[in-house]
Structure formats: structure tokens, C-alpha cells
Amino acid sequence: MREIHHKSFTEWAASQSDQDFKNIEHRGQLKREDIKNQCGFGRSILGSNPDIKRDLAKLEKDLRARGVLPKKVKDNVNTNKKASSNPNSEEYDQSASNTKALIRRNQQLEAENLQLKADNARLKRALEPYREVAEVLAETGINLR
């Protein structure tokens, strides 16, 4: 059974693109929940199967080297940031995540802007037939409110 799960994981990892990996990144790691769902096994398999555990760590290391996942941050100097309760916890450079979120937000705003421009143009075309009526009324001295 262990080999079946390992084969499933390696096939899944080989079938993913860099963009697929970016889509399931969370706090500098691949989301374990998404991995287990896509591979079709339980979350405990990720932690209990040493082959999968080793290959997942290697995969994340390779993705960091390629710039798909954010790099680990070495915090050798005490900063004003609050200290982690776990001294063994690792921090990851969130600038890549923040950039990804900003790009996504920018794309949403650009799409919304295009939609609003199209709506504005459509409404202006709909008002065009009434422009002549408004001009005639203005010439006769009738002021519309």
C-alpha cells in the first residue's frame, strides 16, 4: 500500500505545472489538504509515509530553488517583530505571496474597469435618441429637472 501511495504522489507531482504549484502554495509550503485531495489519499499518509515525506520535502526545496515557492527567511538578528512561540518554526518570504495577491487584485480591477466602460458606452448609446429632444426643449426654454 505504501508503494501505491508513493506512486500516486510521484505521478501527481510530475503532472503539475509551476502555475499549479503556485495555486496551492500557502505560507511558503504546498497545501497538504490539496495534495491529499488530488492524490486521493488521507492526510496522515503525507506524514507517515517516509518516501512521500522525503519526496515532498525535496519537491518543495526544488520549487524554492526555481522561485515557485518563497525562499526561507533566516532571522539571525532579533527584530521588533513578535517572536514565534516555536523556536523551530521557519519563516518564509511573503513578498512573493503579496505580489501574487496584488497581481490577482489588479487583474480583477482591470476586468471590472473594462466592464464598467462597456456599460457606460452602452448607456450613452441608449440615451442618444433623446439628445435631440433635449436640444429642442432647451431651445424652446423648457428646462428639464
For residues 68 and 78, the answer to whether their CB atoms sit within 8 Å is: no
Domains of the chain by residue range = 1-74, 94-145
Residue 83 pLDDT grade (very low, low, confident, very high; cuts 50, 70, 90): very low
Burial zone of 5 (CB within 10 Å; 0-12 exposed, 13-18 middle, 19+ buried): buried
Q: What is the pLDDT of residues 10-38, one digit of tens each?
A: 999 999 988 888 888 888 889 998 998 89
Tell me, letter by letter, the H, E, C secondary structure of 93-121. CCHHHHHHHHHHHHHHHHHHHHHHHHHHH
For residues 5 and 52, the answer to whether their CB atoms sit within 8 Å is: yes
Q: What is the pLDDT of residues 52-75, one digit of tens each?
A: 999 999 999 999 998 888 887 764
Locate 69 and state its grid cell: 515557492
Taking 50 as the threshold, does the pLDDT of residue 80 lie above it?
A: no
Distance CA 59, CA 34 (A): 15
Taking 80 as the threshold, does the pLDDT of residue 136 lie above it?
A: yes
Q: What is the pLDDT of residues 99-131, one digit of tens each?
A: 888 888 999 999 999 999 999 999 999 999 888
